Structure 1
Amino acid sequence: MSEAHISDMATRRIAGIVAPTVEAMGYELVRVMMTGGRRPTLQIMAERADGSGMGVDDCAEISRTISAVLDVEDPIAGEYTLEVSSPGIDRPLTRLKDFRRYAGFEARVDMAAPIDGRKRFSGRLRGVDDADRVLVETEPGVQEALPFEGIARAKLVLTDELVAASAPAGGADGE
């Protein structure tokens, strides 16, 4: 899957460099994306491995640590801006486990190449089958099986149901 505007190979290389560090810190790498022109932006999206919420301090800690790793490895020629963020509620879906985890929620999936003349599929996620195809119920009783490797971009759709499911336990006041 690729959302990168700069080569997939470069973003895969960067992901390979930063993932072990991010994981050792107790986070999971969600997405690595390079965008921009003269001064590109390296976007690193991560979430806590334990599933708890991320805050600004988490992003700052990841940013400081990853900056040091990238300074040593130097995978990007020239100057760039590093952005670290959490996925947010209407998050991108980048891993098979994301499609399993968010089964039952509305999503939009864009394919790299058309399937039966269509590149965009919207509907309720129904998980993943044994052949690593993402299952999307596009209308009642109609389910599409989309090859995971052919997905260009996918994200959850912001709905009241998703917001309610994403609310911290104990209501708006937190604990």
Structure 2
Amino acid sequence: MALQDIVAQTVTGLGYDLVEIERSAGGLLRVTIDLPWHPGAGQFVTVEDCEKVTRQLQFALEVDGVDYKRLEVSSPGIDRPLRHEQDFERFAGEMVDITLKAPMGAAAGGQVAANRKKFRGRLERAEGGGWQIVWSDEPAAKPGQRVSRKKAPAPLQALGFSLDELKEARLAPIVDFKGRKTGGAAPSQAGAPSNDQVGEP
């Protein structure tokens, strides 16, 4: 059985979502898990969750003879990847970073540089379905800087995209020490500044 299948079967069998699998140099196998999303539920992956998955994965990987030196199971953290439609529904209203497979500047009506592939903005459902990110190119005010109320704000720009057009999408790692503003999205790992992590010594 392939590594992806072994890990996915084990993680989902224990009632968790598999977010990411990474193989790193030195034989490190890193597995990122999350709790299934239920609107309005503010649950977080705990160290105990990571320990439970680690124990079960160690057994499953040994049975299938998977070669690795060290296993690390963790929660997603503040730059959680978004891969599935459900991830986008879960984090609608949040700030995200997206990288497109191909530039879409020309398709965006000339609003952006024709060769631009990377965008940061608020994730929203687009009219007629699909997704879009909305942003302003106005630079953020520096701490203590006075902002004139008479100055007109820079216009908002929007770029629609399909999941097939994405190379990568992640929550933007924005830390507000007064508390992360979730913009109406359900509470999530987005608020946790660091990963819960359990590794095999």
TM-score strictly above 0.5: yes
Partner SS for 2:133:
strand
Structure 1 Cα separation of the partners of residues 45 and 8 of structure 2: 17
Partner SS for 2:102:
strand
For structure 1, the 5+ residue unaligned runs are: 1-12, 169-175
- Does residue 163 (structure 1) correspond to residue 195 (structure 2)? The answer is no
Q: Which residue, 56, 63, 69 being the options, matches 1:65?
A: 56
Q: Which residue, 108, 120, 123 being the options, matches 1:122?
A: 120
- Higher RCO (CA < 8 A, seq sep 6+): 2
Q: How many residues align?
A: 151
- Does residue 148 (structure 1) correspond to residue 163 (structure 2)? The answer is yes
Structure 2 Cα separation of the partners of residues 127 and 42 of structure 1: 35
In the TM superposition, what is the alpha-carbon distance from 1:72 to its structure 2 partner? 2.1
1:86-133 CA distance string (max 9 Å, x none): 1123422222211111111111112233333222011000137777x5
- Does residue 84 (structure 1) correspond to residue 73 (structure 2)? The answer is yes
In the TM superposition, what is the alpha-carbon distance from 1:146 to its structure 2 partner? 2.3
CA contact (8 A) 2:28 2:68 kept: no
Counterpart code for 2:166: I
More strand by share: 1
Q: What does residue 133 of structure 2 align with?
A: 136
In the TM superposition, what is the alpha-carbon distance from 1:35 to its structure 2 partner? 2.6
Partner SS for 1:94:
coil
Instruction: Using structure 2 for the length normalisation, give the TM-score.
Output: 0.63
Structure 2 Cα separation of the partners of residues 64 and 128 of structure 1: 42
In the TM superposition, what is the alpha-carbon distance from 1:53 to its structure 2 partner? 1.2
In the TM superposition, what is the alpha-carbon distance from 1:40 to its structure 2 partner? 3.3
Counterpart code for 1:20: Q
Q: Which residue, 35, 56, 67 being the options, matches 1:48?
A: 35
Partner SS for 1:114:
coil
Over 3 Å counting, the alpha-carbon distance change for 1:70 and 1:130 in structure 2 is farther
Instruction: Using structure 1 for the length normalisation, give the TM-score.
Output: 0.71
Return 119-128 or 46-55, whichever deviates more.
46-55
Structure 1 Cα separation of the partners of residues 64 and 35 of structure 2: 24
Match runs of 1:100-115 below 5 Å: 100-115=89-104
Q: Which of structures 1 and 2 has the bigger CA Rg? A: 2
